[in-house]
Amino acid sequence: MADNDPSLWHGTTILAVRKNGRVAIAGDGQVSLGHTVIKGTARKVRRLAGGTVIAGFAGATADAFALFERLEAKLEQYPGQLARAAVEMAKEWRTDRYLRRLEAMMAVADASTSLTLTGVGDVLEPDDGLIGIGSGGGYALSAARALLPLEGMDAEMIARRSLEIASEICVYTNNNIVIEAMDAEV
């Protein structure tokens, strides 16, 4: 298996939820090195493009910061066009010799679009408005799918509860949860 095989990536949980005119991206705070917790309060979710885009990363921290910077530059080049900026960044990510070695994935969202970005050039928009990445991404995604149809639960509530559930299952996920949310198009 290649070093950039997503099945080998672990160390975080990021979940994007889009529901009833809101979009939220949540991430846990655990940074692991092998089987050791190095930090429990990392901030893996942040706002970009003057607050109009929310992004969360899973993977190597330094690589994720490099990708945040690249995406921010593309968002400046294509203001208000998250999908185009993501595609342009993914093209660079896939073809640039340095970027190809980066081990990270991103979940990004603006008012109208949620996307998963990968190092193999994927720019994927989910059918159901949910994205789960990282070692606990599958657990959080499953929980979110179960909670999504429930009345009385908004995007932030679903994101928080889903990450809490993932933190009870995945040893690389803690319950120090950071959530960024904004109004979305319905």
Amino acid identity, residue 158? I
Spatial separation of the C-alpha atoms in residues 31 and 174, rounded to whole Å: 9
The confidence band for 124, taking pLDDT boundaries of 50, 70 and 90, is very high
pLDDT digits (tens, 9 = 90+) for 145-154: 999 999 999 9
Q: What is the dihedral of CA 142, 117, 27, 37, to 10 degrees?
A: 100
Closest CA to 108 of 27, 167, 42: 27
Q: Does this model's pTM top 0.95? A: no
Hey, what are 24's tokens?
A: 């939220």
The confidence band for 116, taking pLDDT boundaries of 50, 70 and 90, is very high
User: Domains in the chain, start-ordered, CATH in brackets?
Assistant: 6-183 (3.60.20.10)
- Is residue 113 part of the annotated active site? The answer reads no
Among residues 12, 13, 118, 173, which one is catalytic? Answer: 12
